[in-house]
Structure 1
Amino acid sequence: MNTSSFLLLRLAIGTSMLGHGLVRLPKLQTFSHWMVGSFVKSILPQALVIPFSYVLPIAEFIIGLLLVTGLFTKPALIAGSLVMITLILGSCMIENWEVLPSQLIHVAFFTILLQFINSNTLAIDQLFLKQH
């Protein structure tokens, strides 16, 4: 993968994650109530859903910011994949099959970028590599 392609994919997936976090952070309690309500009839206990509903927007924001800037790109891609895998499980628990394609596409982007991480040359990460 060439540098430009990697950058554009990294920016696209990073912007998606950043945008999800940005719109949810100002209304964190409302988002949490919505998520908890969505899982009322699932087998997941509220004791797991509530903390996750508060952590998710923060994780989305941080992962997105790291990817957009190209800082700690590899760990951010791994974290993004893990967040999405968790969301996939949650979607299955509430039988929300409509969101699965979007979540799977996110995981595909994360893993493709991980496979071509050596193409991440237009990133803040490169400043750290040059110092060592």
Structure 2
Amino acid sequence: MDKTGYLILRLAIGLSMFGHGLVRLPKLSGFSKWMVKSFEGSMLPEIIVTPFSYALPVLELCVGLLLLIGLFTRQAILLGALIMLMLIFGTTLIENWAILPSQLIHVAFFVVLLNYVKDNTWALDLKLGK
């Protein structure tokens, strides 16, 4: 993969994660209530869903921002992939099969970025020696 292609992929997944977090933060309480309600019939107890629902938008925003500026890129990729794996697990528990492809695509983006992280040349990581 060339450096420009890597940058485009990093920015694309960064914008997706950043945007998810950005739109959810102003309505965090409502988002949390929606997520808790979505998991009412699942195996996951509310005591697990509630803190995750509050942390998710913050994590999405932070991962997205780090990817957009190219800072701690490898760590942001790994955290983003972990977030998506948790979302995939939750999605399967509530049998929301319609959203699963989008989550799998996000994971694929993270895997590609991780495998070609050496091409991450347009990033703050290089400027700061990370």
TM-score after normalising by structure 1:
0.97
- Aligned with 1:97: secondary structure? coil
- Aligned with 1:101: secondary structure? helix
**Aligned amino acid, residue 121 of structure 1:** T
Identity of aligned residues (%): 57
Report the RMSD for the aligned CA atoms in angstroms: 0.8
- Tell me the alpha carbon deviations over residues 77-101 of structure 1, each in whole angstroms, 9 at most, x when there is no partner: 0000000000000000000000110
**Aligned amino acid, residue 88 of structure 1:** I
- Tell me the alpha carbon deviations over residues 13-46 of structure 1, each in whole angstroms, 9 at most, x when there is no partner: 0000000000000000000000000000001000
**Within-5 A mapping of 1:1-132:** 1-129=1-129
* Structure 1: tracts of 5 or more residues without a match: none
Aligned partners of 2:124 and 2:111: how far apart in 1?
20
* Structure 2: tracts of 5 or more residues without a match: none
Number of residue pairs aligned between Structure 1 and Structure 2:
130
**Aligned amino acid, residue 103 of structure 2:** Q
Aligned partners of 2:100 and 2:6: how far apart in 1?
24
Aligned partners of 2:13 and 2:77: how far apart in 1?
9
Aligned partners of 1:31 and 1:90: how far apart in 2?
15
Instruction: Measure how far apart 1:71 and its partner are.
Output: 0.5
- Tell me the alpha carbon deviations over residues 49-80 of structure 1, each in whole angstroms, 9 at most, x when there is no partner: 00000000000000000000000000000000
- Aligned with 1:43: secondary structure? coil
Aligned partners of 2:98 and 2:79: how far apart in 1?
23
TM-score after normalising by structure 2:
0.99
Instruction: Measure how far apart 1:128 and its partner are.
Output: 1.7
Aligned partners of 1:119 and 1:73: how far apart in 2?
11
